[in-house]
Amino acid sequence: MVTAQTFAPQGIEVKNPNDGSTVGHVPEYGAAEVDQAIARARTASRRWGALSHVQRRKDLAAFRRGLATQAETLATLVHRETGKPKVDAMSEVLLAIQHVAHAASRAEEVLATRTVSSGLMANLKSTVSYHPLGVIGVIGPWNYPIFTPMGSIAYALAAGNAVVFKPSELTPLVAVEVAKIAQQTLSVPDVLQVVTGRGPAGAALARGAVDKIAFTGSPATGRKVMMAAAERLTPVLLELGGKDPMIVLPDADLDKAAEAAVWGAMTNAGQACVSIERCYVHDAVYDRFVDKVVAEAREVRFGADPGAHIGAITLPAQVEIIKRHLEDARDKGARFLLGGPDAIEGNMVPPAVVVDVTDEMQLMQDETFGPVLPIARVKDGDEALSRANRSRYGLGSAVWGKSGVRELADKIVSGMTTINTVLAFGSVPTLPFGGIGESGFGRIHGDEGLREFSRTKSIVEQRFTIPGMNFFTFKVPPNLYDQLKGMAEKLYGTAVLDKASEVLKKLHIL
């Protein structure tokens, strides 16, 4: 387990993307160290999983308080490792702590054993119970190095599991600090461990003897994680990329929509899986909307200055992807009303507003992950919906307007949608978070997040016997065939069952 004592000027050097300065060093662990961490977690999981929900809630409350007490330290590390402004870093820390609090508060109720209807088998008592999986491997991203992984870690811990967390090699220091706080506040040692390293450490965790892998990152790496996990048939939860669309209808509040579009596309320098990466605007308001967007985007301050709204691109290789998308769009006829490939200097990418875009451009198909807002003109809501759904991704989305917005939101093929706001689903701890298609599968956050890290077990108990109605034996009456046929006809071929069900529901029996 990584602790403060393991820091040394060797292994991985962590740099501040804003100025290139060294933030710190962490060890570079390999497969042997990862396997050792998993073994320690296995021992810890037995003790942690045996605790009552009440005791785990008390432990997680202490963990929550420890995180809150060290919020400034955590936010400073996030700021220095990612290059994002301090206020964004503190917002991320706050949201991470919120998930710890919510997961702990909901676990007892959500994971309580429940009795369900036994259908025709009225003599049977049927129950569903939830149990810890054991050891969860979490592989986190660099863009939100505490908020995103905590969306898995908090719910896994609350469900009774131990966690081995492998952070990005670009942002490991905040993870080390979180592990130190866990070691100081949780009653079971090694229930949350951090293993620092590069790709081989992540691969070792995916191949290791864990009971589930939760991965956040690119679809390409997600495929590798699945292949590694397949060796042990380890289940995986994948939160991958997005190409989130925003639709603006003619009756939308254009001032608020433009403001939200710029923020949604450019917050964290566009380095969010749920960034607004495509905007489809009704022809009737297109020109006015574009003018308002450009005016808003001109006010976005970028750079290393403490007062900047957005900082550097954290991953140097991502700059080349952003530049390639912008150049491809320019070569295919797009116009830049602000920014563009020639405005990029080093790892600083200024805000870009792009028009005359077509769906054949990389900018409209592939995840850009930068402060770029492409805007397309559409003739109506149907065209906007059709083009919004023309994607291999399906993470988040947004609809702006008044008439018919809920119906349109329901028809967008994505895991999450906002109406007259953007990105808000990530800030609501009660909502399940996740996507479809190449955006991944599985859900973190909310009640679904707790059950995602639990093993569901069905138990049936015979309460009494019904003469002539024992179907689980070869000793059956000779007329059983006719009895079953009669039941099928009377129960399911008429309205008798419908009426009976209504009565039973009113009596709260079904």
Query: Rounded to whole angstroms, how far apart are CA atoms 370 and 277?
Result: 9
Which CATH architecture is the domain 244-430 placed in? Answer: 3-Layer(aba) Sandwich (3.40)
Query: Rounded to whole angstroms, how far apart are CA atoms 64 and 351?
Result: 36
Query: Rounded to whole angstroms, how far apart are CA atoms 151 and 141?
Result: 12
pLDDT digits over 204-232, tens only?
999 999 999 999 999 999 999 999 999 99
Which fold does the domain 4-239 belong to in CATH?
A: Aldehyde Dehydrogenase; Chain A, domain 1 (3.40.605)
Query: Rounded to whole angstroms, how far apart are CA atoms 262 and 352?
Result: 10
* CB proximity list for 189: less than 8 A, separation 6 or greater: 44, 183
Contact 397, 388 (CB under 8 A): yes
Query: Would you place residue 465 in the very low, low, confident or very high pLDDT band (cuts 50, 70, 90)?
Result: confident
* Residue 438 predicted with pLDDT over 80: yes
Strand order in the sheet with 192-194: 192-194, 162-166, 135-139, 212-216, 236-239, 440-441
Q: Where are the domains of the chain?
A: 4-239, 244-430, 467-506
Query: Would you place residue 75 in the very low, low, confident or very high pLDDT band (cuts 50, 70, 90)?
Result: very high
pLDDT digits over 99-129, tens only?
999 999 999 999 999 999 998 888 999 999 9
pLDDT of residue 6: 39
* 414 or 502, higher pLDDT: 414
pLDDT digits over 227-286, tens only?
999 999 999 999 999 999 999 999 999 999 999 999 999 999 999 999 999 999 999 999
pLDDT of residue 1: 44
* Residue 413 predicted with pLDDT over 60: yes
**Could you give the residue numbers annotated as active site?**
239, 273
pTM of structure: 0.94
Q: What is the mean pLDDT of the chain?
A: 95
